[in-house]
Amino acid sequence: MNSATLFGFCSAAIVGLGLFGLIVSPHPLRRILAFNLLGSGVFLFFGVVARRGAAAGLGADPVPQALVITGIVVAFSATALAVALVLRLFALTDEAAPTSEADPKAGAEGGHS
Amino acid sequence: MSTASVATTSSGYLLVLAVMWPVIGILLSFVVSGRQIERLAWIVLPVGLVIAGATLIAVTQAGQSQIYVVGNWAPPLGIALRADGISVAMMMATAIVICVTGVFAHGEFSQPPGGPEERAPVVFWVLLFAIWSALNALVLGSDLFNLYVALELLTFAAVPLVCLKGKKETVEAALRYMLFALIGSVLYLLGAAMIYGAYGTLDIRLLSERGHAEPATLIAASLMTIGLLAKTALVPLHLWLPPAHAGAPAPGSAMLSALVVKGSFFVIIRIWFDAMPDLLSFRAAQLLGALGAAAILLGSVLALRQQRLKLLIAYSTIAQIGYLFFVFPLAAGLATGVAWSGIAWTASWLQLFSHAFAKAAMFMAAGLIAEALGHDRIAELGGIGRKLPITMLAFALSGLSLVGVPPSGGFSAKWLLLLATVMEGQWWWAVVIVLGGLLAGGYIFMVLGRLLASPTEVPALQAPVSRWRECAALSLAICAVLLGIWPLQSSDFLFIGR
């Protein structure tokens, strides 16, 4: 088994774990984390594709790496937007903020910003 | 088409302009003060409409796709923007709905005179520009990864629109929408990675030459489709749609229901009909059609059971999206040149556009009714039609198009679909189309009956309703009806560039 195959299996496992978390866990924050795990699996898969040299036998294909960088930026913005929504929801429901149990205000302010 | 022949055409710059012009609007929004943004929109919207119109004319006159090769790097190394018949038609419909939404939002999303500047109007106009740019990028993109970025831009612009009013239920709805959209986007990206791994390109034209039906391609296409179905809200991935579309402010609901869900549908079409036409097997097409049929029946039945007007309209969107998916079983022969497939292809696009106009008009009418009465409980709407005759007319005309009463775009679309089911010998879809029409008639006439009722006392209006906004809703409803004059045959225009 070469390294590309090994990492391919790794990415498949991570994607599976992320998908499991996304479907099973009811808590929005856990789902966002699961989405990030799933995303990492996909990015690793892009790495495997690059290593295998998809485009016409090149030793290491640079295109998937460019795609991964864009993908990371998009996933980061998506996470930021989702977390902002979660914070806002916590502020509106008056539950303890996820950041600190002692000071519920901290999360509420984050949601307003 | 070989790689060498991909070059920028004479009107190619219009495609860049179509994507960039709303972005310029966004950038200027951050420079001008909050009070000036609406004035800025009065410049951005008409110019955008002109750009869409010019692109439409350019493609029609040339009779072939207009292409812009970014940086003069031909695919697969570079990225091309490509406007074919269906993409300019989408561009035009988008421009019309967005411009009328802009007119409709005047008043609801204007800065209050005298008082301090509010945040919601600023955010609304920025999101409106963002949705426009993202949709144009989506219909013009010819690279699967480019489409991914456009899809994400669309989602990021659509989600905040849901919770613009900041109520707890709407934030919940927005979060649920966001989580569904995230699953969708990551599955799409995984599929795109697999395709790149298999063929070394993401350009749609090159894929249609290189791609062939093998397990890896099928898995990739399935992953991408499932992801896009979550964003299109096809049954069984529709759970996020009703609270999100019903909770958004009326101009937001109009754009979400009319345009945003169609964006991801457009990408599904690109994948199955453009990128990998060989892959659409009989079974896959029947499965997608079956999901569409389930959506029609489930959405319509649930719409009949709703107590609130905006929720009813949202469930009706789920049902009407279902019709779009009949394109897969009925037009599957397009790649192999089966003559009757053109009818189903035309019908599906007609359904998409007439639903876009009708549903936007309907959400606007519902928003005006809710504003006037202070609620949208269907049981208590009695007699409002006497107070708001134009709004009621807009609701009635768009409703008739949704039901499929002639003459209207909805009728032509459903007639052509029925014709295609007969010609293709797939009668089982005809049963669903007729049943769906009957159920739609049920929920539309349930509301219309209330609106037209003559109660003992006519309800008092809580707030005055602007005549302009009523006319905006009516104009889109008239667009939906006017689509009914579309000739009842396969349209050559929608085949430009295929």
DSSP state of B273: I
Count how many pairs of residues, chain A against chain B, have C-beta atoms within 8 Å: 90
CB contacts of B168 in chain A (<8 Å) are: 89, 92-93
Q: For residue B68, list its beta bridge partners.
A: B81
Torsion of CA B57, B60, B63, B66, to 10 degrees: 50
Q: Would you call B422 exposed, middle or buried from its count of C-beta atoms within 10 A (0-12, 13-18, 19+)?
A: middle
> pLDDT confidence of B150, banded at 50, 70, 90?
very high
Helix (H), strand (E) at residue B328:
helix B327-330
pLDDT at B455 over 90: no
Lowest mean pLDDT among B112-116, B221-225, B236-240, B428-432: B112-116
Residue-level pLDDT at B235: 87
For chain B, what is the mean pLDDT? 90
Angle at B479 between CA B476 and CA B484, to 5 degrees: 145
Interface residue ranges in chain A relative to chain B, Cβ cutoff 8 Å: 15, 18, 22, 28, 31-32, 35, 38-39, 42, 45-46, 48-49, 52, 54-56, 61, 63-64, 67, 70-71, 74-75, 77-78, 81-82, 85-86, 88-89, 92-93
Q: What was the pLDDT predicted at A57?
A: 60
Is B196 an interface residue toward A (CB < 8 Å)? yes
Cα separation, B355 vs B262, whole angstroms: 10
Spatial CA neighbour of B233 closest among B268, B196, B199, B206? B268
For B193, the closest of A35, A38, A45 (CB atoms) is A45
Q: Which two tokens mark B281?
A: 């097997």
The whole-chain average pLDDT of chain A stands at 81
Least confident of B255-259, B321-325, B347-351, B383-387: B383-387
Query: How confident is the model at residue A54, as a pLDDT?
Result: 56
- Mean pLDDT confidence for B416-439: 92
CA–CA separation, B275 vs B296, rounded Å? 27
The torsion angles phi and psi of B50, rounded to 5 degrees, stand at -65, -40
**Phi/psi at B454 (nearest 5 deg)?**
-110, 90
Flag if B149 and A46 touch (Cβ within 8 Å): no
* Nearest-by-Cβ selection for A93 from B149, B168, B189: B168
pLDDT of residue B459 exceeding 80 = no
Q: Cα(B497)–Cα(B494) distance, rounded to whole angstroms?
A: 9
How confident is the model over B232-265, as pLDDT tens digits?
A: 999 899 999 999 999 999 999 999 999 999 999 9
- Residue-range definition of the domain harbouring residue A88: 3-112
The pLDDT of residue B112 is 80
Across residues A16-45, what is the average pLDDT?
93
Residues 69 to 88 of B: which have CB under 8 A from any A CB?
Answer: 76
Whether A98 shows a pLDDT value over 60: the answer reads no
pLDDT, average across residues B54-76 = 90
Shortest distance, CA A71 to any CA of chain B (angstroms): 8
B197 in reach of chain A (CB within 8 A):
yes
The pLDDT tens digits of the residues spanning B18-41 come to 999 999 999 999 999 888 898 999
Inter-CA distances, B488 with B262, B432, B441, Å: 23, 21, 22
For chain B, the domain total comes to 1
Residue A104 has pLDDT above 70, yes or no: no
β-bridge mates for residue B83, sequence order: B66
B297 domain-assigned:
yes
Residue B427 counted as domain residue: yes
Instruction: In whole angstroms, give the CA distance from residue B399 to residue B274.
Output: 33
Look at chain A and report how many structural domains it folds into. 1
Lowest mean per-residue pLDDT among A103-112, B200-209, B305-314, B479-488? A103-112
Sign of the CA dihedral running B79, B83, B87, B93: positive
More confident residue, B77 or B163: B163
CATH assignment at residue A27: 1.10.287.3510
Per the listing, tokens 């969708």 go with: B184
User: Which of A101-105, B108-112, B485-489 reaches the highest mean pLDDT?
Assistant: B108-112
- With CB atoms and an 8 Å threshold, state whether A85 touches B199: no
Tokens found for residue B27: 């950038």
Q: Kindly state whether residue B491 falls inside one of the protein's structural domains.
A: yes
Distance CA A22, CA B354 (A): 36
Residue B198's pLDDT is: 87
Task: Answer whether residue B347 is part of any domain.
Answer: yes
Q: Which pLDDT score, from 0 to 100, does residue A91 have?
A: 92
- Expressed in angstroms, the distance from the first to the final Cα of chain B is 11
DSSP state string for B152-196: HHHHHHHHHHHTTT--HHHHHHHHHHHHHHHHHHHHHHHHHHHHH
* Beta carbons of B257 and B177 less than 8 angstroms apart: no
Short-list A45, A63, A7, CA closest to B144? A63
The length of chain B is 498
Lowest mean pLDDT among A62-71, B390-399, B432-441: A62-71
- Give the ranges where A1-113 is alpha helix by DSSP (H): 3-24, 28-52, 63-93, 104-112
Share of chain B above pLDDT 70, in %: 97
Q: What is the pLDDT of residue B338?
A: 64
The answer to whether B160 faces chain A, any CB pair under 8 Å, is yes
- Any domain includes B370: yes
Instruction: Give CA–CA dist B26/B28, Å, rounded.
Output: 5
B348 within a domain of the structure (yes/no): yes
pLDDT tier at B7 (50, 70, 90 boundaries)?
confident
Closest CA to B129 of B50, B37, B14, B54: B37
At B100, list the tokens: 């009328």
Domain of B381 in residue numbering reads as 292-498
Q: Which residues face B66 on adjacent strands?
A: B83
Alpha helices in B258-340 (DSSP H): 261-269, 282-304, 309-324, 327-330
